[in-house]
Amino acid sequence: MRALIVYESMFGATRNVARAVADGLRTAMPVDVRGVGDAPGTLGKVADDVSLLIVGAPTHPFGLSRPRSRAAAAGRGTTLPIATSDVGLREWLDTLPPAGHTRDALAFETRLRVRGMPGSAAKAAGKRLRKAGYRLLWPPQIFYVSDLTGTLAEGELERATMWGRWLGVGAPKRQAQR
């Protein structure tokens, strides 16, 4: 059993959450963490030995980022973005080949804690994962940032590590229930 975490991150918050989730999950299984631009294989390719795919992205207006919203976010930040790729999680997931056999997945997002903010990157990612034949083990997880440049809210990294530990205990049990 091996996990792959693929994330999209503009200013580092989603990357940091992905790494924290991996730290917690490593107590139960090997984990590979990759930015969407460095994801293994070709666009959308997932190795056969990956039994758990976890994807994460920041929520842009109405869900997953698009090239235009990534460019706007890069221009808005007060710090230099860490990623300006033309390939975001949306594009990576859209090229995901059919799972072929039952594979499990999870999604998370980073977002501002703003009442009424439209869209969810994690829910949009979940829809794309289901379309490719993945089974979502649990509902999406949200991690909050405190500003538009992606500074994580206090306690979110610790919460991400705990979520990873929880997944390490729960995912094998959930997978056994197939």
| Per-residue pLDDT tens over the stretch 147-157 | 877 899 999 99
Whole-structure pTM value: 0.87
| Structural domains for the chain | 2-176 (3.40.50.360)
| Per-residue pLDDT tens over the stretch 57-75 | 988 767 787 677 677 766 6
What is the CB-side half-sphere exposure of residue 55 using CA atoms within 13 A? 31
CA–CA separation, 131 and 94 (whole Å): 9
